[in-house]
Amino acid sequence: MLRIYQNTYRRTARKAVVYSTKVACCNHSTLCGITSHPRRAQDSGSSSSNGRHRGHEEFLLAGNPARGWQMPPPSRGYGMLVVRILRGALKLRYIVLGGAIGGGVSLSKKYEEWKDGLPNFKWLEDAMPQGERWSQFSRNLIEVGSLVKNAIEVDPKLKQLGEDKLSEWRNWFDSRLDDAIEAADYQGVQIVETKDDLKAKTTVAALGITSDESRKKYEKLQSQVETLQTEIMNVQIKYQKELEKMEKENRELRQQYLILKTNKKTTAKKIKKSLIDMYSEVLDELSGYDTGYTMADHLPRVVVVGDQSSGKTSVLESIAKARIFPRGSGEMMTRAPVKVTLAEGPYHVAQFRDSDREYDLTKESDLQDLRRDVEFRMKASVRGGKTVSNEVIAMTVKGPGLQRMVLVDLPGIISTMTVDMASDTKDSIHQMTKHYMSNPNAIILCIQDGSVDAERSNVTDLVMQCDPLGRRTIFVLTKVDLAEELADPDRIRKILSGKLFPMKALGYYAVVTGRGRKDDSIDAIRQYEEDFFKNSKLFHRRGVIMPHQVTSRNLSLAVSDRFWKMVRETIEQQADAFKATRFNLETEWKNNFPRLRESGRDELFDKAKGEILDEVVTLSQISAKKWDDALSTKLWEKLSNYVFESIYLPAAQSGSQNSFNTMVDIKLRQWAEQALPAKSVEAGWEALQQEFISLMERSKKAQDHDGIFDQLKSAVVDEAIRRHSWEDKAIDMLRVIQLNTLEDRFVHDKQEWDSAVKFLESSVNAKLVQTEETLAQMFGPGQMRRITHWQYLTQDQQKRRSVKNELDKILKNDTKHLPTLTHDELTTVRKNLQRDNVDVDTDYIRQTWFPVYRKHFLQQALQRAKDCRKAYYLYTQQGAECEISCSDVVLFWRIQQVIKITGNALRQQVINREARRLDKEIKAVLDEFSDDEEKKGYLLTGKRVLLAEELIKVRQIQEKLEEFINSLNQEK
């Protein structure tokens, strides 16, 4: 039995696939009369007793955990014991098999379907012992088996029956195992067996991404991941800028503190910059001046080019004596040009151009931070689904013994693109590389991988196109330690002597940039390089390689010497060229803008920022009366439609004064509890927005207004208004005030009464004007206008006029008619129109009735308002029993009071809180815009800005060039 279990375990661990089985389901009470497998039913004997035994055995072999360990009848005790042991071994098989597959990364759909068909054995985790307990349990089980074997005589027939069934089961299991392997291979499951465990690697086919729907889901998830990565990078960029800003403020505050503490005036000492730093600043200025790559930059620099994974970055790190770049196995890591300025200094440190942080390159923690920041900046520079970027990442590396030069590391040239790259990646890399190499003064450091065939190189043809004579190309063969083992020594000698490639070069160098270990330090790599070249037979044969052609140290000396030689030859010519460009730009400025000073975008932005903040200050100085008027107007504009359509008209058309007051009270309370506070806050926010915009518009009419700021100001105001929201607690506060105000139903004095009557008349007149405009569109122009303007009535307008004449008769007979027409009235109108050969339906009559009746009602409301103007004393004496119905006056007085109280509360909120909160939002928007060069370029544009920007840049470059030339001449 143990041998069977071991064989099963070995087969399972070796092939690492999942089988499926079917569990026979039968009732325990009828178990002995059922055969659980159709194939085994054929093998059952003629004896019913024999069939029952086989059915019972098959049920136990299937392993139904829900049934548990069923006790057989006493007559079959020994036979059932054998079957129980077999069943225990099979259960162990599930545990072992599940553990082997559990180490996989992901499984195919076929595996998932089979796994769902397996019975659930989680109960075994609690039932079965683990570790030493399981070993002891196994030993006890073996001892019990041996005792039973010696104590009980086994029936030969029963023993043979068990062996037959066991053999049959093994054959069945082997067949299912082979089927599972074939299915797994068909689905694309790749299984790798290592020394310690089994790792399942699932391909795209196994994941089911072959269908269009699954592919779309995969692409959608991938786009979501890219979006999240972009958001994370933006947050990190913002965090980094804020951190640098706080560090700068901290230094300034510390300096001020020291000045105050010592009470001494300290004079700022001008620190003399090194020659290479001055030259690097010139290149940085040129990068900002030539961001669009529209004009060639002819100042010298060392351009590092090569195929992907050829060792470009390693060569640069060896020259810089520090592992400063992120590394990846077989993937593109350099996604943007990296300009590295090397300079000699007492400490080995690195620093980004736009950051004040220094990385100590002697500390591994700082090296890790530097590599992570380089990788982060590369990813941040890639936008819009691109794989590579033209944005230059500039850094300075200083240290003892470093050769002074400026190197630019470019993305490696590729011949084949992967699915995760943008479609234009290959062309973008070629264009970028050709642009940098096309500089007639650029030194091309051509990197060739010595461990691969020379024919596979893509970079040599590109270098030949840009420098066919090889006057500024230095060829570097990397990985020569591998090349010595793999390649033909004669081919390596030909490469280093310039006889294999048709391209020409100033010099040929061989270097070793690593031992294949990611954690090796530069010192260890350099020591390994020196030992290799000392002991290599390839480089010590007579007349083959000169000693100065090997090691990274000799390479850096040669590159630096060539770099400074080219700088001295070309720098004055470039200075003269920029001097002429500056003269031309200054002449153009004087001709186009003679009375204006050249102001760049940063200066213009600061000026616009000051004007916007001045307008915010003016906003807080608006008088209380002006705020009250603006808020009251905006409130009534927001509330008037609801007051008329949902409160006043339904209540006034109810038919009696008592029902009018009851309905008004109910609707006002519901309104105040639900929609009124929110509408009031909305009105307050719109009033604040309108006042601020009006202030900005008035500033445009000033004599000294500069229209160049208008687009920027509008964008800042719109963005601040979009972000700003009223305080939430204002709604709850307004709700209480408005409910208390609407509870008052008594007009206190004659002045308030007259004001309410006037408010009612103006509101009804406004609605009457709207209704008459609707009627004019419905019935067409009057007779006089038709005669004077030669206008005619349409057929529909003629019908409407006929219907109106009939409706006017109804209103004339009943001036207090209800707002709806009865069925009899509709029938009468239709019949009267039919006599005049006008055929209309009831809906057409109702549509015409609505504006006609509304005009009639509003005219009556105006008449009641006139009657109520002098009825205040009757109202105070008789109240609801007053002969003249003035309930609508009281309603509008209540509305007027709510508007007044709400406007006062909103005004206090604006002055005390909202104006200052808006000020903070505007300042935050201005700070964001100031850091966004792209947005500033979009909002501050035009010939004046572009010309000023170019003139300022050229002036700065020319001044820095002259300063550098003076220092260079002094060094000579």
CA proximity to 613, closest of 230, 891, 919, 939? 919
Q: What is the CATH number of the domain that holds 529?
A: 3.40.50.300
Which sign, positive or negative, has the C-alpha torsion 851, 855, 860, 862?
Answer: positive
Long-range contacts of 534-537 (CB under 8 A, 24+ apart): 536/484
- CA distances 918 to 37, 619, 910, Å, are 80, 10, 10
624, 565: one domain: no
Residue 68 lies in a domain: no
Q: What is the mean pLDDT of residues 427-437?
A: 86
Confidence grade of residue 634 (pLDDT, cut at 50, 70, 90)? very high
* Residue 972, C-beta contacts closer than 8 angstroms, at least 6 positions apart: none
Reference 689, options 743, 634, 641, 645; nearest CA is: 634
* C-alpha–C-alpha distance, residues 285 and 282, integer Å: 5
Q: Among 226-230, 617-621, 682-686, whose mean pLDDT is lowest?
A: 226-230
Is residue 358 domain-shared with residue 491, that is, in the same domain? yes
Residue 355: partners with Cβ closer than 8 Å, 6 or more residues away: 240, 244
Q: What is the pLDDT of residue 264?
A: 45
108 touches 188 (CB < 8 A):
yes
446 vs 585: CA distance, rounded Å: 38
Strand order in the sheet with 359-360: 359-360, 349-352, 393-399, 338-344, 405-409, 302-306, 443-449, 473-478, 507-510
396 has which bridge partners?
Answer: 341, 351
The whole-angstrom separation of Cα 208 and Cα 730 is 55
Find out whether 555 and 447 touch, Cβ atoms under 8 Å: no
What is the predicted pLDDT for the residue at 730? 86
829 shares a domain with 734:
yes
Tell me the per-residue pLDDT of 739-770, one tens digit each, with 9 for 90 and over: 999 988 888 888 989 999 999 999 999 999 99
Location of structure tokens 């399972």: 12
- Closest among 276, 277, 316, 282 to 299, alpha carbons compared: 282
Q: In this predicted model, what pLDDT tens digit does every residue of 689-710 receive, in sequence order?
A: 888 888 888 877 777 788 888 8
Question: d(Cα 478, Cα 446) in Å, to the nearest integer?
Answer: 10
Percent composition of the chain: helix, strand, coil (DSSP 3-state, to 5) = 65, 5, 30
Do strands 405-409 and 349-352 pair parallel, antiparallel, or not at all (unpaired)?
unpaired
780: left (phi over 0), alpha (psi -120 to 50) or beta: left
Q: At residue 286, what is the residue type?
A: L
Taking the whole predicted model, whether its pTM rises above 0.75 is answered as no
Assigned domain for 492 exists: yes
Can you give the pLDDT at residue 390?
80
**Which long-range contacts link 346-352 to residues 24+ away (Cβ below 8 Å)?**
346/400, 347/398, 347/399, 348/321, 348/322, 348/397, 348/398, 348/399, 348/400, 349/397, 349/398, 349/399, 350/322, 350/324, 350/395, 350/396, 350/397, 350/398, 351/395, 351/396, 352/377, 352/393, 352/394, 352/395
Say if residue 655 is in the same domain as residue 559. no
Distance from C-alpha of 200 to C-alpha of 192, rounded to nearest angstrom: 6
Which one has a higher pLDDT value, 112 or 578?
A: 578
User: pLDDT band at residue 867, thresholds of 50, 70 and 90?
Assistant: confident
pLDDT-derived band at 240, boundaries 50, 70, 90? low
What's the CA gap between 722 and 717, in Å, rounded?
8
> Is residue 18 exposed (0-12), middle (13-18) or buried (19+ Cβ within 10 Å)?
buried
Query: Do 467 and 357 belong to one domain?
Result: yes
Residue 401 lies in a domain: yes
Residue 698 contacts by C-beta under 8 Å, 6 or more apart in sequence? none
Q: Give tens-digit pLDDT for 926-970.
A: 988 888 888 888 888 889 988 998 898 888 888 888 888 888 888
**Structural domain for 678, as ranges:** 612-931
**Cα–chain-centroid distance for residue 408?**
31
Digit-coded pLDDT (tens) for 797-830 = 888 999 999 999 998 888 888 888 999 999 999 9
635 and 727, same structural domain? Answer: yes
Distance separating alpha carbons of residues 252 and 354, to the nearest angstrom: 18
Range with lowest mean pLDDT among 53-57, 253-257, 447-451: 53-57
643 occurs within a structural domain: yes
Q: Are residue 399 and residue 474 in the same domain, yes or no?
A: yes
**476-507 burial: b if 16+ Cβ within 10 Å, else e:** bbbbbbebbeebeeeebbebbeeebbebebbb
User: 554 with 468, same domain?
Assistant: yes
Do 573 and 617 have their domain in common? Answer: no
Q: 563 with 636, same domain?
A: no
DSSP state of 709: G
Q: What is the DSSP letter of 307?
A: B
Higher-pLDDT residue of 196 and 431 is 431
- Residues 130/46, Cβ–Cβ less than 8 Å: no
Domains of the chain: total? 2
How much is the pLDDT for 621? 82
Both 555 and 676 in a single domain?
Answer: no
**573 in the same domain as 665:** no
Q: Please choose, from the candidates 638, 698, 610, 692, the residue with its C-alpha nearest in 3D space to the C-alpha of residue 915.
A: 692
Is residue 103, in this structure, part of any structural domain at all?
no
Question: Looking at the domain assignment, is residue 253 inside a domain?
Answer: no
Is there a domain that residue 905 lies in?
yes
DSSP secondary structure string, 874-896?
HHHHHGGG-SS--HHHHHHHHHH
**359 CB burial (10 A radius; 0-12, 13-18, 19+):** buried
Q: Which two tokens stand for residue 456?
A: 């596979």
Kindly write down the DSSP assignment for every residue of 439-453, as one continuous string. STT-EEEEEEETTS-
Judge whether 763 lies within some domain. Answer: yes
Instruction: Show the DSSP H helices in 321-423 as ranges.
Output: 364-381
Q: For the chain, what is the total number of helices (H) and then of strands (E)?
A: 35, 11
